[in-house]
A and B are shown apart, each in its own frame.
Chain A
Amino acid sequence: TTRTPEFLGLGTSEAIFPASDKVSEVVIGVLDTGVWPESKSFDDTGLGPVPASWKGECQVGKNFNSSSCNRKLIGARFFSEGYERSFGPIDENVESRSPRDEEGHGTHTSTTAAGSAVADASLFGFASGTARGMATTARVAIYKVCWLGGCFGTDILAGIEQAIKDGVNVLSLSIGGSLNDYSKDTVAIAAFAATANGIVVSLSAGNGGPSSGSLANVAPWMLTVGAGTLDRDFPAYVSLGNGQKYKGVSLYGGKPLSDELVPIVYGRNASNSTSGNLCLPGSLVPGKVAGKIVLCDRGGNARAQKGQVVKDAGGLGMILSNTESYGEELVADAHVLPTSTVGHKIGDLIKAYIHSEANPTATISQGSTQIGIQPSPVVAAFSSRGPNPITPEILKPDLIAPGVNILAGWTGAAAPTGLDNDKRRVSFNIISGTSMSCPHVSGLAALIKAAQPEWSPAAIKSALMTTAYSTYKNGKTIEDVATGSPSTPFDYGAGHVDPVAALDPGLVYDATVEDYISFLCALNYSAEQIKSVTKKDYTCDSTKTYSLGDFNYPSFAVPLQTALGSGAGVSSTVRYTRTLTNVGAPATYKVKVSSEISSVKILVQPESLSFNEAYEKKTYTVTFTAASLPSGTTSFARLEWSDGKHIVGSPIAFSWT
Chain B
Amino acid sequence: RQQAKRTYIVQMDKSHKPASSDDHLNWYDSSLKFVSDSADMFYTYDNVISGFSTRLTEEEAQLLEKQPGVLSVLPEIRYELH
Contacts and interface: CB of A to CB of B under 8 A. Distances in A.
A445 B37 CA distance: 47
A186 B81 CA distance: 16
A434 B82 contact: yes
Contact of B49 (A85, A177, A189, A216): A189
B54 to A, nearest CB: 9
B79 A82 contact: no
Contacts of A413: none
Interface string B48-61: 11100101000000
A531 B47 CA distance: 13
Nearest to B49: A189
B11 A532 contact: yes
Given A152-B76, A161-B46, 20 more contacts: A82-B43, A86-B6, A86-B76, A105-B81, A150-B79, A152-B7, A153-B79, A157-B43, A158-B43, A175-B80, A177-B79, A184-B74, A186-B9, A190-B49, A193-B47, A193-B49, A528-B13, A532-B11, A532-B71, A535-B49
B53 A154 contact: yes
Contact of B78 (A153, A180, A190): A153
Contact of B82 (A174, A178, A185, A193): A174
A381 interface: no
A179 B37 CA distance: 33
Contact of B72 (A81, A165, A184, A197): A184
Contacts, number: 119
Interface in B62-82: 71-72, 74, 76-82
B5 to A, nearest CB: 9
B3 interface: no
Interface of B is mostly: strand
Interface string A154-176: 10111011001100000000111
Contacts of A323: none
B77 A531 contact: no
A164 B82 contact: no
B15 interface: yes
Interface string A533-554: 0010100000000000000000
3 nearest A-B residue pairs (beta carbon): A204-B82, A177-B79, A154-B53
A509 B82 CA distance: 29
A207 B82 contact: yes
B34 interface: no
Contact of A151 (B7, B48, B55, B79): B79
B13 A435 contact: no
Contacts of B47: 160-161, 164-165, 193, 197
Contact of B76 (A32, A82, A190): A82
Contact of A33 (B71, B72, B81): B81
Contact of B79 (A105, A176, A189, A194): A176
A85 B55 CA distance: 8
Contact of A176 (B46, B53, B55, B80): B80
A154 B9 contact: yes
Interface string A26-61: 000000110000000000000000000000000000
Interface of A is mostly: helix
B21 to A, nearest CB: 19
A82 B53 contact: yes
Contacts of A190: 48-49
Interface residues of A, number: 50
27 contacts: A81-B43, A81-B53, A85-B7, A85-B42, A86-B7, A152-B76, A153-B9, A153-B77, A154-B42, A161-B43, A161-B45, A164-B47, A176-B82, A177-B78, A177-B80, A178-B77, A183-B72, A184-B74, A189-B48, A190-B48, A193-B47, A193-B48, A206-B82, A435-B82, A528-B71, A531-B13, A532-B72
B11 to A, nearest CB: 6
A483 B74 CA distance: 40
Nearest to A84: B42
Contacts of B79: 146, 150-153, 156, 175-177, 187
A433 interface: yes
B29 to A, nearest CB: 16
Interface string A184-225: 111101100110010000001111000000001000000000
A438 interface: yes
Contacts of A194: 48
A175 B55 CA distance: 23
Contacts of A184: 72, 74
Contacts of A186: 9, 74, 76-77
B42 to A, nearest CB: 5
Contact of B7 (A150, A154, A175, A193): A154
A438 B81 CA distance: 12
A284 B25 CA distance: 58
Given A81-B42, A85-B55, A161-B48, A175 B81 contact: yes
A552 to B, nearest CB: 24
Contacts of A157: 9, 43, 45, 48-49, 53
